[in-house]
């Protein structure tokens, strides 16, 4: 077996994007990377169950019980321990400091549920993104996979996919459609692309 990029996925909630990554590994969409570790910032995150079901190691660092510096130091320790090459933020609701992101240039990727530069940056996460798109009246939204730097949603774009807004959409309906038609497709594809580049660059 050729070397694969070692991946850590950071999660906060249900882990639907994590499941899409696990499924993409099993179906062969992701071949050059392998998820070795899932880190959650909440002990009750269902993503941990998804990881355990797939035989992936898990760790919990409860953000609200520690300082930002201690939280990030804990993540760094785990990443070092598992010799992680690529960090994927999949529904991870914590902003990482510039000190952290600077340690891993173009080695952290995130999926954002809008077409950056629309509806992104500080305060735009989860359902708020879809609420804003509907309030603004845009006809097309989508998802973006981008590298993470010190500016929220400010890193270089890897891929985007558009999703049409339909009459009668609620934020919840739109959130589901963006996940199904965009996030779950482009996130695994981007992981494969970046993993391949990491391996090729060695």
Domains of the chain: 5-200 (3.40.50.170)
Q: How many CB atoms lie within 10 A of CB 116?
A: 19
Report pLDDT for 128. 95
Surface-to-core class of residue 46, CB atoms within 10 Å of its CB (0-12 exposed, 13-18 middle, 19+ buried)? middle
Q: Catalytic pick from 6, 42, 50, 112?
A: 112
For the chain (length 202 residues), average pLDDT per consecutive 10? 92 96 97 98 96 98 92 98 98 92 96 96 92 97 97 95 97 97 98 97 84
DSSP 8-state code for residue 96:
P
Q: What is the pLDDT of residue 34?
A: 98
Where are the extended beta strands (E) located within the chain?
A: 5-11, 33-40, 57-60, 86-89, 108-112, 140-147, 157-164
Confidence at residue 2, expressed as pLDDT on a 0 to 100 scale = 81
pLDDT in the model for residue 1 = 59
Q: What is the pLDDT of residue 64?
A: 86
Residues 134 and 137: their CA atoms lie apart, in Å, by 5
- Whether 112 is a known active-site residue: answer yes
Helix residue spans in 118-182 (DSSP H): 127-136, 171-178
């Amino acid at each position: 077996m050729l070397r694969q990029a070692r991946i850590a996925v950071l999660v906060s909630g249900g882990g639907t994007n994590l499941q899409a990554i696990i499924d993409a590994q099993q179906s062969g969409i992701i071949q050059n990377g392998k998820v070795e570790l899932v880190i959650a910032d909440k002990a009750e995150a269902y993503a941990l169950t998804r990881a355990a079901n797939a035989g992936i190691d898990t760790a919990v660092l409860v953000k609200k019980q520690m300082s930002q510096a201690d939280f990030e130091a804990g993540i760094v320790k785990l990443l070092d321990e598992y010799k992680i090459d690529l960090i994927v933020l999949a529904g991870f609701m914590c902003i990482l400091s510039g000190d952290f992101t600077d340690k891993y240039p173009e080695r952290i990727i995130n999926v954002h549920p809008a077409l950056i530069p629309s509806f992104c940056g500080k305060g735009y996460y989860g359902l708020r993104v879809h609420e804003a798109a509907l309030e603004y009246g845009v006809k097309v939204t989508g998802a973006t996979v981008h590298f993470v730097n010190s500016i929220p949603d400010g890193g270089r774009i890897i891929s985007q996919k558009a999703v049409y807004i339909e009459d009668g959409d609620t934020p919840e309906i739109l959130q589901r459609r963006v996940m199904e038609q965009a996030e779950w497709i482009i996130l695994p594809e981007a992981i494969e692309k970046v993993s391949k580049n990491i391996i090729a660059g060695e």
